[in-house]
Amino acid sequence: MGASPSVSIAIIGSGGAGALTTGDCLLEAASTAGWHGLFTRTLGPQIRGGEAAALLRLAVHPVDCLPDEFDLLIGIDWLNAHRFGAEIKAGPRTLVISDPRGGDLPPMVTQAGARIVEIPMKEMAKAIRDGRPNMISLGIASRLLGFTVEQAFAPIAKRLADKGPGAIEASLAGIKAGFGAASGIDLGVQLTAPQPTSARRWLLSGNEATALGAIRGGIRFAAAYPITPATEILEWLAPGLTRIGGVLLQAEDELAAINMIIGSSYGGTPALTATSGPGLSLMIEAIGLATSAEIPVVIVDVMRGGPSTGIPTKSEQADLNIAVYGLHGDAPHLVLAPQSVSDCMFTTQWATYLAETLQAPAIVLSDQFMGQSRAAIERPADVAFIGARNTATEISESYKRYAKVAGGVSPMAIPGARGGQYTADGLTHTERGIPTSGAVDHLAQLDKRRDKLEQFNFGDHWASMEGNGDLAVITWGSLTGAVREAVGRAAADGVKVRIVAPRLIAPVQPERFAKALTGVKRILVVEQTHSGQFHRYLRAHYDLPAPVRVFHRPGPLPITAGEIHRAIMNWS
Amino acid sequence: MSSIVTNLACKPGDYKSDIKPIWCPGCGDYHVLMSFTRAFAQLGLQSEKIAVISGIGCSSRIPAYTNCYGFHGVHGRSLALAAGLKVTRPDLTVVVASGDGDGYSIGGNHFLHACRRNIDMTYVVMDNHIYGMTKGQPSPTTEPEFDTALAPGGTGVRPFHPLVVALASGANFIARCFSGEPNETADVLVEAIKHPGFSFVEILSPCVTFRPDEKAWKDLVRPAPVTATGDQGKAARRLMTDDGFNLGILYRGNRAPFKPAVEPTTTDLSELEKDFEL
């Protein structure tokens, strides 16, 4: 049995079988013991019932992508499991645990040449008073992964604390039964023991990380309209903001949400909204207003498959164009993209800081994959990016809200400040904010808004840059994790690759980008869109100094490290 | 309204800016501006503690003509912008200015929800039954037979009844004024601003350019023959049956205004982080 730095597990069941609970408990047990992990749930379109699968990867290192193939696949039952066929890959090394009464094995199992071991999970559960087959599966997985019964039981005991001793006993009995049933079965790989650490792991989704990053950056007001897959940001922020004296308003629609946050920010309270593609489309007009009136706001777009209603529960990177180019007029603004669950916190905090500092709207492009995945991570470091707006304090008679100043960021009077009265406006305006259609004022304010973004020093956080190979993979967003893994495999094959993954999408950074690509011989662009939006964006703004290939495809299936690795090896 | 600092020395002129309005000569909105400044002076408000928020249209030009803080935003969304401001800055007096196109057409949904939400602010709609800034298209309050270039022979569509909609949606104060009576209008605005919760004031404000027929309004309007009621059923009957020219405060509710909990239980962000620690 070989040691492996990472092991992956998929648990499938029909609605109510509890596969997701098993996945959640395994992640918590592993992270308590010191491993890192990533847990993605995948569901049919039903609100309740229907099929569900828990996809889990545990490792000694941070995990930012799912595996190409699963080491362990547990089918509590196989009803409708074929729907996950494209998503859950099995292979000859996969161990499949199947309930003989769980229905016909799906083609993804029968065609994989996988080892199949039958364990009657449903029957075993029936033998336990109030027993549930997912607890049997938890016991089986725990044994195969090398956890103790106690480690497997702790998370479930916490969850059932208010359900009474009967439920807790039933679960413990189920785990023990599964543990026993897995005795003598060899998974084929052994998860390497984690490095001892005194730091307590954090367990959170990218959406929760986004919300906490926003608060760390200074956000104290949020307004939003519910939308999949962004809603978890709001559901954590609603009580979270209240605890620190902030407010969340549920708006009547996205048009209201964006305007509410502009109102809050105009009044001096840093503000955020969170949405997905359809909502971003509705917000675009008012984001232009925030650009013109120079009101800092943060808009998080948790991207899903598009266009239109698209695939609400699956990831894609196809909102890049609308985020960068969607505003009418020449409307410079900030666009940022986090690269992992953990980075959702940093990037949202940084976006808040930048919006406040530069008095401009910031769009944060997260996506469904990292937004709704739960990860076991180390506590993200505290960073000093806390929004500090240049406000007008000592206001003289000659105060001009939109004065041309060095750097372009003019002091903003906050309502209540005597003598600072001005009318914020979406109309072209003078330095005082008075509407005008004059050419000189129009140009002056366009220049001002461009210069404040272009002249700002964004520092090293603008991109992740790793390695120095002469093949550069340029990617962005949540794909960075899969690219990093693919590049690691290429290194094992003797191919050196560098990664350039911009976190700051707009304003563009041509000098930094050119420096990052110094000496490259080949370029591979990797993105999850149908039309190659990121490639076109790169072509529009940057000099790509070597032959370029593009690996891109749409959702809903996540792009795997294996696919990227093949693209790298074909270009080496 | 909140934190009123009464200053009897305030004069309407203190609330006027030096910017010359773009309105046509004879536009009713000049008088509405006069009513605003008179109301602010009567209340003795500090101009920097007032925010006048608007959308797009002739009426929505009003913020810059005051000496208050102002926001001239996008078309139809002023109520939402004002909600975000008032909820986070309850110390400010927030007055929203709109028109029948901005407020009842493109902004109609926000009108319903602002009434429901009942945030303490005053919503003034200058209703001239026409789109003036875009030069004479029918609005939701235009009569169905009124002939325009965009709807030759009239829209044939029943006009919107803003006061009834406001009542049904939960507005806490409903009044109708006529711009040609700036003193009476100012008095109503004072009451509206003082009244807790969402106050809705519709001001009939003639468009002399595209609706010269509205010059006749001055002979049609009259003080409502009854005093304000707090009974929604009675108010509904009155509003449904009046001819649109009864002026004054027509409904005065006592619903508690929206007040989010903003007393922090912690200022230590590491308390929040405990949600995620294992």
Per-residue pLDDT reduced to its tens digit, B119-154? 999 999 999 999 999 999 999 999 999 999 999 999
Tally of CB atoms within 10 A around A431: 17
Q: Where residue B5 falls among pLDDT bands split at 50, 70, 90?
A: low
Instruction: Tell whether the model's pLDDT for residue B68 goes beyond 70.
Output: yes
Name the residue among B72, B86, B269 with its Cβ closest to that of A423: B72
CB contact under 8 Å between A245 and B267, yes or no, is yes
pLDDT given at position A196: 81
Report the C-alpha gap between A105 and A59 in whole angstroms: 28
Instruction: Choose among A201, A220, A269: nearest Cβ to B278.
Output: A201
pLDDT at residue number B241: 93
Question: Which residue from A minimizes the CA distance to B70?
Answer: A423
What is the rounded average pLDDT of the residues B215-239? 96
H or E stretch including A224? Answer: strand A221-224
CA dihedral for A361, A319, A234, A371, sign (positive or negative): negative
pTM, to two decimals: 0.97
Chain A nearest C-alpha distance from B4 (Å): 13
What is d(CA A140, CA A142) in angstroms, rounded to the nearest whole number? 5
Q: Inform me whether the pLDDT recorded for B2 exceeds 60.
A: no
Cβ pair B17, B64 in contact under 8 A: yes
Report whether A247 contacts A218 (CB < 8 A): no
Contact A267 B89 (CB under 8 A): yes
Which among A249, A416, A419 has the least Cβ separation from residue B87? A249
From the CA of B95, how many Å to the nearest CA of chain A? 13
The predicted pLDDT at position A550 comes to 98
Q: Do A268 and B89 touch (CB under 8 A)?
A: yes
Angle of CA points A64, A69, A72, to nearest 5°: 100
Measured between CA atoms, the residue of chain B closest to residue A423 is B70
Is B6 a residue whose pLDDT tops 70?
no
Sign of CA dihedral A139, A144, A149, A151: negative
> pLDDT by residue for chain A (572 residues), tens digit each?
688 999 999 999 987 789 999 999 999 999 999 999 999 998 876 666 678 999 999 999 999 999 999 999 999 999 888 888 888 999 999 999 999 999 999 998 999 999 999 999 999 999 999 999 999 999 999 999 999 999 999 999 999 988 888 999 999 999 999 999 999 999 999 999 988 877 788 999 999 999 999 999 999 999 999 999 999 999 999 999 999 999 999 999 999 999 999 999 999 999 999 999 999 999 999 999 999 999 999 999 999 999 999 999 999 999 999 999 999 999 999 999 999 999 999 999 999 999 999 999 999 999 999 999 999 999 988 899 988 899 998 899 989 999 999 999 999 999 999 999 999 999 999 999 999 999 999 999 999 999 999 999 999 999 999 999 999 999 999 999 999 999 999 999 999 999 999 999 999 999 999 999 999 999 999 999 999 999 999 999 999 999 999 999 999 999 999 999 999 999 98
**How would you class A45 by CB atoms within 10 Å of its CB: exposed for 0-12, middle for 13-18, buried for 19 or more?**
exposed
Q: Which residue has the higher pLDDT, B109 or A79?
A: B109
Segment B67-90 mean pLDDT: 98
Q: What are phi and psi of B250, to 5 degrees?
A: -105, -25
To the nearest whole angstrom, how far is the Cα of B271 from the nearest Cα of chain A?
A: 9
Q: Which residue of A has its CA nearest to B16?
A: A421
Q: What SS3 class is residue A277?
A: helix
SS3 B176: strand
Q: Token pair for residue B78?
A: 């002023």
Determine the average pLDDT of the residues in B248-273: 91
